[in-house]
Amino acid sequence: MTYQSSFNNIAVTNVSRRDLLKGVVATGGLVLAAQFPMTRSVFAYATGAADMPHGVVTDPHVFVSIDSSGLVTILAARAEMGTGAARTALPMIVADELDADWSRVRVKQAPGDETTYGNQDTDGSRSVRHWTQPMRQIGAAARQMLETAAARRWNVDVAEVSAQHHEVVHTPSGKKLGYGELAADAAALPAPALNTLKLKDPSAFRYIGKGNIPIVDLFDITTGNTTYGQDVKLDGMKFAVVARPPVVGGKVASHDAAAALKVPGVEKVVLIPGSTPPAKFAPLGGVAVIAKTTWAALKGRDALKITWDDGPNASYDSKAYRAMLEEAIRKPGKLERNEGNAEEALKSAARVVSAEYYSPHMAHVTMEPPAATARIVDGKCEVWAPVQSPGGTREDVAKLLGAKPEDVTIHTTLLGGGFGRKSKCDYAQEAVILSREIGGAPVKVVWTREDDIHHGFYHTVTAERIEAGLDSNNKVVAWRQRSAAPSILSTFAPDPKFPANFELGLGFVDNPLNVANLRMESGEAAAHARIGWFRSVNNIPHAFAVQSFVAELAHELGRDPKDFLLELIGPARIVNPTVTTKLWDYGEPFDVYPIDTGRLRRVVELVAEKAEWGRKLPKGHGLGIAAHRSFVSYVASVVEVAVDDKGNWSVPRVDTAIDCGFAVHPERIHSQLEGAAVMGMTVAKYSEVSFKNGRVEQSNYNDYPVVRIDESPTETRVHIVPASIDVPSSGVGEPGVPPFTPALCNAIFAATGKRIRSLPIGPQIAL
């Protein structure tokens, strides 16, 4: 892989707006659809975009249209859940290369259709890292077509014209034509020869890398003029809520709907068939109440009498399960990575230090609980839903109905938070089932907060044990780490009871520490709940364990935690782990996104400098540091904690440094990392979903609290490692969370001497 600017294989073709944009873009003269062939070499650098479902393989399309007034419409094909990537950053890249005036650009949401748009699965902190290059190319192609149209109009050489901020200028004469005046001519032209595509020099960027573009929905958000999934309203729409089995895999044994049907406004009670794990995103089943209003549906549900058959997970008990996980990590497990001979090195070590860590299940509790609306007319199904994977939802709904994907339209609403919960479209499928039950009439399924917490796809529960062997010079010569956690794979396939490679690569086998004898093992862990992605996924427990343990070792050896962390990271190098199953590097080509300890060191050094590591602190305060690579980005955090004499604690200041390659939208990166500190604090302080008799014990924000403004970090300072556009952009949405928790716990140790090894912190440091 070389970092060459080669765009020779991209096929950019004019397409008829009527053919491809029917119902999406109302007006337009110029329409581009860029089709990427299967090769990766169309890009200056390769990314994993090519290997995503419908990614490069099925030719992702990105659309631009310009109407005669000059209004540029750019389609957002991915889902907007709050990062700003889908509806702001990506269209902004197109607009910049097009040299469009952002005030004359509008963004329209594309429907779920991966055949047309390429992969739409908005997950894994992938949007910007996979789509920056294609977006630049689309914008550049459109710009050059406008220039060619102008040159022909003026009968001059195209070299004499240039697009400048929404108009094309003939340099010798100063003549100008607006984009709107050229749009129709440009649309009639053949696409520019691919080897003539000229990307802007970064010095000419107006928006890319500047952070000067507010999110496109900003005004509407502040005025309430937004439509999230919960807000959809169609003519004649019914409202539904569902009583779902309290235990995963459970079924309705019997139900009595008589009282529910007497509630004014309740129209129908419908049985939804259950699903037996592994059921992917199939609905859990249960009893649905369909009514004229949400309120009537809720009252009707309260009046249902249901007897459940709980099924095989009825005995799931988090306390007992924790003991099983801890047993699993105290004996040899499945070998996942092996460097040197950790077993021998531990035996011959002068000293062995060990610790165990525990991280519980968590729920996403997006501010918007799941919701979806569906209707079926003449065999065509339409769904309005806040889904992270609009294309995947389309496929799942088509399969459910036995319909062709082209008979299913997914309208992606705004997402009131996603965090991985809305990667699973069970709620959309419920709406489709219920619409079908009432003859295709529109129906909105509303999930309450209790539904959300009781019927999630939970962050896995993890027990972890690390043993380090020290030689007589206190050098770490052996590291054996065992982890046991139910696998996400159990949601999709018969439970493997061991992690898949895409879980092992989330901060476990990709551990970058410079220890000669290093051994990673997985313990057996069966799933008894639906396990799913939660922002940052397994990186949270792994970073918690590893980065806490590094600080524990530092304390044991009387070393400064930052210096010791840098020493353990070791010299700048590429780490290529010796693994037993293929290393999963976030789906990216390893040569482009290697595990680079030089970059990890740099964020540690940067955050230490900016946070003035070692600065004098008031009594009761402590500083903690942690660093972690995830989603092919590097993040280090320094957290300051203040603990009063009753054990109440607060976080006066957080410093976070990120190296995410080229920073496409620095202002939104700041915003994501500010938010990650809050979510990290919630993870650390409160988050635990526990099961008893197979049922989730929590139900709302009272017993599943999240951090509020009066306890959130007072100040979060974000520091971005500067990088040119040649440095591949990497993840931003998720990487900020994992290092926060261990940095906080290390700060608590510094302030109090109390070591947190079990999350959440809860009352552990209360006096």
Partner 1 sequence: MIKLRVNGQERPFDGDPSMPLMWFLRDELGLTGTKFGCGVSLCGACTVHLDGQAVRSCAVVMSDVAGHSVTTIEGLDAHGNHPVQVAWRNLGVPQCGYCQAGQIMQAAALLAQKPAPTDAEIDSGMAGNICRCGCYQRIHAAVRAASKGA
Q: Which CB atom, from 144 or from 741, has the smaller least distance to partner 1?
A: 741
The structure tokens listed for 560 are 């400064």
Q: Which residue in 57, 706, 723, 727 binds partner 1 (CB under 8 A)?
A: 706
Work out the burial of residue 658: count CB atoms within 10 Å of its CB; fewer than 13 is exposed, 13-18 middle, 19 or more buried. buried
The distance of closest approach from Cβ of residue 49 to partner 1 in the complex, given in angstroms and rounded to an integer, is: 24
449 part of the interface to partner 1, by CB under 8 A: yes
Residue 678 lies near partner 1 (rule: CB under 8 A): yes
The answer to whether residue 225 forms part of the interface with partner 1 (CB under 8 A) is yes
Q: Which stretch binds partner 1 (CB under 8 A): 214-222, 276-284, 463-471, 523-531?
A: 214-222
Stretch that binds partner 1, among 38-46, 228-236, 510-518, 594-602 (CB under 8 A): 228-236
Which one of the spans 145-153, 274-282, 291-299, 537-545 is the region binding partner 1 (CB under 8 A)? 291-299
Residue from 2, 702, 724, 763 binding partner 1 (CB under 8 A): 702
- Interface residue with partner 1, options 313, 522, 547, 712 (CB under 8 A): 712
CB atoms within 10 A of CB 612: 11
Q: Are 439 and 554 in contact (CB under 8 A)?
A: no
Q: Is 671 in the site for partner 1 (CB under 8 A)?
A: yes
Count interface residues toward partner 1 (CB under 8 A): 65
Residues 18, 155, 174, 224: which binds partner 1 (CB under 8 A)? 224
DSSP lists the bridge partners of residue 412 as 385
Residue ranges in 340-369 that form contacts with partner 1 under rule CB under 8 A: 365-369
Helix (H, G, I), strand (E, B) or coil at 569: helix
103 lies in the site for partner 1, by CB under 8 A: no
Give the H or E element holding residue 501: helix 501-504
Question: Does the footprint of partner 1 cover residue 446 (CB under 8 A)?
Answer: yes
Q: Which stretch binds partner 1 (CB under 8 A): 308-316, 589-597, 611-619, 670-678?
A: 670-678
Q: Are 200 and 142 in contact (CB under 8 A)?
A: no
Q: Which of 628, 636, 592 is nearest to 611 (CA)?
A: 636
Position among 28, 55, 70, 82 found at the interface with partner 1 (CB under 8 A): 82
- Considering only residues 236 to 255 of the shown chain, the ones binding partner 1 according to CB under 8 A are 239
From residue 518, give the alpha-carbon distance in Å to each of 338, 346, 380, 627: 6, 10, 56, 19
Question: Nearest 5°: CA angle at 494, between 493 and 497?
Answer: 110
Candidates 1-9, 134-142, 475-483, 666-674: pick the segment binding partner 1 (CB under 8 A).
666-674
Nearer to partner 1, 55 or 456 (CB): 456
Looking at residues 716 to 735 of the shown chain, list those that interact with partner 1 (rule: CB under 8 A).
Answer: 716
Least Å distance, CB 324 to partner 1, is: 31
Q: Which stretch binds partner 1 (CB under 8 A): 134-142, 243-251, 400-408, 696-704?
A: 696-704
Binding to partner 1 by residue 123, rule CB under 8 A? no
Which 3 state secondary structure label does DSSP give 92?
Answer: helix
The DSSP 8-state label assigned to residue 661 in this structure reads S
CA–CA dist 220, 218 (Å, integer): 6
List of residues 6+ apart from 335 with CB closer than 8 A: 519, 520, 521, 580
> Coil, helix or strand for 327?
helix
The β-bridge relationship of strands 443-446 and 238-243 is: parallel
CA angle 516, 520, 522 (to 5 degrees): 175
Q: Which residue, 145 or 654, has its beta carbon nearer to partner 1?
A: 654
Provide the mask over 400-419, with x wherever binding to partner 1 is found by CB under 8 A and - wherever it is not. Answer: --------------xxxxxx
Q: How far is the CB of 172 from partner 1 (least distance, A)?
A: 42
Query: Any bridge partners for residue 689, and if so which?
Result: 361
Residues forming beta bridges with residue 629, ordered by sequence position: 634
- Contact call for residue 230 and partner 1 (CB under 8 A): yes
Q: Residue 498 contacts by C-beta under 8 Å, 6 or more apart in sequence?
A: 334, 487, 522, 524, 525
Q: Which amino acid is at 142?
A: A
129: enclosing H helix or E strand: helix 127-154
Pattern 132-161, binding to partner 1, x per CB under 8 A?
------------------------------
Does position 259 interact with partner 1 (CB under 8 A)? The reply is no
φ/ψ of 318, rounded to 5, equals -65, -35
Asked if 42 is part of the footprint of partner 1 (rule: CB under 8 A), the reply reads: no
Q: Across the chain, which distance is largest between two alpha carbons, in Å?
A: 83
The site for partner 1 (CB under 8 A) is made up of 80-84, 214-215, 217-219, 221-228, 230-231, 233, 239, 264-265, 293-296, 299, 365-369, 414-419, 446, 448-450, 667, 671-672, 674-679, 700-702, 706-710, 712-713, 715-716
